[in-house]
Structure 1
Amino acid sequence: MDIQKTHWKRLINPDYIGAYALNPDEDLTVTIDYVQREQIVGTDGKKEDATVAHLKGHKPLILNVTNSKSIAKLYGPYIEEWAGKDITLYASMTKAFGDVVECLRIRPSVAKRKKPPITPDRLGKAIKSIVAGQYTTEKLRAQFELTKEQEKEVNDAVQAAVEGTENA
């Protein structure tokens, strides 16, 4: 079992997402809300203008030239067309300021988003809705990652409902 480790920079809680936000060997697919030029304040208190991608549900990402080019290769050169588009972030290393430092980079293709697991309570409600004809197994599988046991539970409930209507 992997133990979740905490990068020391996570404890500082900066205003922008960085490589420290990802676990080792982890990718993060995010959706761009909008991109704009704005004034940022560095950790040293220095103010500067930067291009910032605001991400849905995450801290904003300061876009350097390398990451801007990566997004442009995916979606074209116009920042207005990047809104609503997914990008996949990963942690890497780069030379900067005479040192090798961590950085966030953007994958050349977007990783498929992983579906969330479903809680037993929510699965029970979904099964009731499926049996009542208000929901479908296709929608359930499209929204959630089901274990083999949960798949069996859904299939058994649907089968029992079908047999119940055939016998009525």
Structure 2
Amino acid sequence: MKNEVSGHWKKLVSDPKYLGAADLEGMPEIAGTIAATAKEMVQNASGKAEKTVLHFVENIKPLVLNATNSKTISKLAGTPMVEGWKGTRIQIYYDPKVKFAGDMVGGVRVRPYPPREGIGTISGKPVPCENCGANIKPFGKMSTEQVAAHTKAKYGKALCSDCATEFAAKKQEEPKEQEESKE
């Protein structure tokens, strides 16, 4: 076929110039500093529409604003006025529970608190788990890098939370096995 395409379908039906769910799905959370807001013509599945777009200081694609993310940013910035958002740091993540037209489609969301220390930008490389190869994600109040450093110190490998849980369970079983072998 002449114009065959490949890749995530969400990237194919949305405007690739803007940050979308497909950019973040399976990735660590990212942080950015708001540089400006602007009205722009954005391509979506149903055509072009003028939308309010958030631009970042860091090398992050602009984010098309929706009501949910705008309300969260308003609270973080301390003002509903978009001109007052400049300089505000936000933490962005993929939320698989975002609904659109009654369907679970996943989407980009802004955390309702300032970014945790160590949260990187999407231009940074993901940290792979040294056990299963999956990307390590932030856990609790720890950033990706903090989780990797913590698990490396504790288990000798940078681990995702699932693998760290398995390693912890194995570590707890070792003393029991040693006790049983002494008897």
Alpha-carbon spacing, 1:61–1:11, altered in 2? closer, same or farther (3 Å): closer
Aligned to 2:158: none
Q: Report which of the two has the higher share of helix.
A: 1
Aligned to 2:16: 14
Letter in 2 for 1:96: F
Alpha-carbon spacing, 1:58–1:10, altered in 2? closer, same or farther (3 Å): farther
Unaligned stretches of 5+ residues in structure 2? 1-6, 121-145, 150-183
Aligned to 2:86: 83
Alpha-carbon spacing, 1:41–1:10, altered in 2? closer, same or farther (3 Å): closer
Normalising by structure 1, what TM-score? 0.57
- 1:95 paired with 2:95, answer no
1:95 Cα deviation after fit? 1.6
Greater C-alpha Rg = 1
Identity over aligned pairs, percent: 33
1:27 Cα deviation after fit? 1.3
Measured on the aligned residues, the alpha-carbon RMSD in Å equals: 2.6
1:77 Cα deviation after fit? 0.8
Aligned to 2:53: 52
Letter in 2 for 1:8: H
Between the two proteins, the alignment pairs up a number of residues equal to: 111
Q: Report which of the two has the higher share of strand.
A: 1
Alignment of 1:25-36 (within 5 A): 26-36=28-38
Alpha-carbon spacing, 1:11–1:73, altered in 2? closer, same or farther (3 Å): closer
1:11 Cα deviation after fit? 6.6
Normalising by structure 2, what TM-score? 0.53
Unaligned stretches of 5+ residues in structure 1? 1-6, 117-144, 148-168
Alpha-carbon separation, structure 1, partners of 2:20 and 2:45: 13
Alpha-carbon spacing, 1:24–1:15, altered in 2? closer, same or farther (3 Å): same
Alpha-carbon separation, structure 2, partners of 1:115 and 1:29: 6
- 1:67 paired with 2:69, answer yes
